[in-house]
Structure 1
């Protein structure tokens, strides 16, 4: 807390001290520790509506930051006859994926950039392990590739073609183009945070269509925003 009893969100480390000292309980902790069984109770409430196409999708963030919980949830879902989808960045040890793909019906996997230096610049990590995992995951589980399309970063013709060329070497049918949007920008302001990407605007429709057409020409079933 600052001297005037305000929270400096730029320096917040989620210690929850502001919650403890707030005299009127205006600050409250959002979120709680939850068990696999508690999650499954919520999942099973909607089971009658899943039909042949519905089920459980585990996303994030990155769900494999909690690999044991994710594996347990996938396994429990399959035991209950519920279809499962894992939405992941691909950035985890192969052993982690290998341990849970047997309980996974489909993987949604991000490919952000083919150039190692650009990928490191944009994400803070190398793309080497991600591309290696993409091949291995697609061999073991039905996989659908997501391309977050970001202006000035990965929307160049060179990168799109390189991505399509790589994807032709692995066992996938579907590519989903996910254009960058600004729907989350107001959340930064609400939290008292500066947007980490203030100079990046939304991508124009022509570039989105161009990206879709490239992957379509390479023989992939392609969507924009996962809309058919």
Structure 2
């Protein structure tokens, strides 16, 4: 089995450290579940330590980066889960669904093996963070790979959707995490922690314009208010599937 993160997961474990505030929101959404399936688990970010976790990850490179103390992991994909029906109290998937080849099939599989809530951290592709002003290619990428918010109810049944506000000092370097630290996007190493920067070409012009705007103060004239905020709605959402589909 080959997976995308076999190639791009170079600095993942250094740059994608779970943020405790986001972790608390995910943990709360899991409710009282004792057994939790983590799909697209990567290096184990956001896996609660006070629950019995089973991780599923397609990338052998990401599996190798998991700490010895991490939950047991199985190399498999969301679309083909090697578990019996209703094997877990809950399931979680953290910024993973956009990598699945068949999103509907993956969610059907997760619903099949899960008795209770399904908690998904994802992104609303209708949102337009300021970075898209410089890199409009991100808009097309997000619209192409991120499900619309309305589709989760089609695939999971009853869902609730919560905004996940990104702290100003977020430790998890996902795409829009540096909303008040724009200089970070000029750092190639930091960009390597987000799959989106591996997916689009022609970054040079947009990054050059961002660099110039930072040097001239134009960025601060437009977005200075962001540097004074403690958190920001960058478009990330927690989708919680709460109801088993009718058999």
Q: Give the TM-score range, shorter chain.
A: 0.3 to 0.5
Give the structure with the larger helix fraction: 1
Looking at both structures, which has the greater relative contact order when contacts are Cα pairs under 8 Å and sequence separation is at least 6?
2
Which of structures 1 and 2 has the bigger CA Rg? 1
TM (norm. structure 2) is 0.34
TM (norm. structure 1) is 0.36
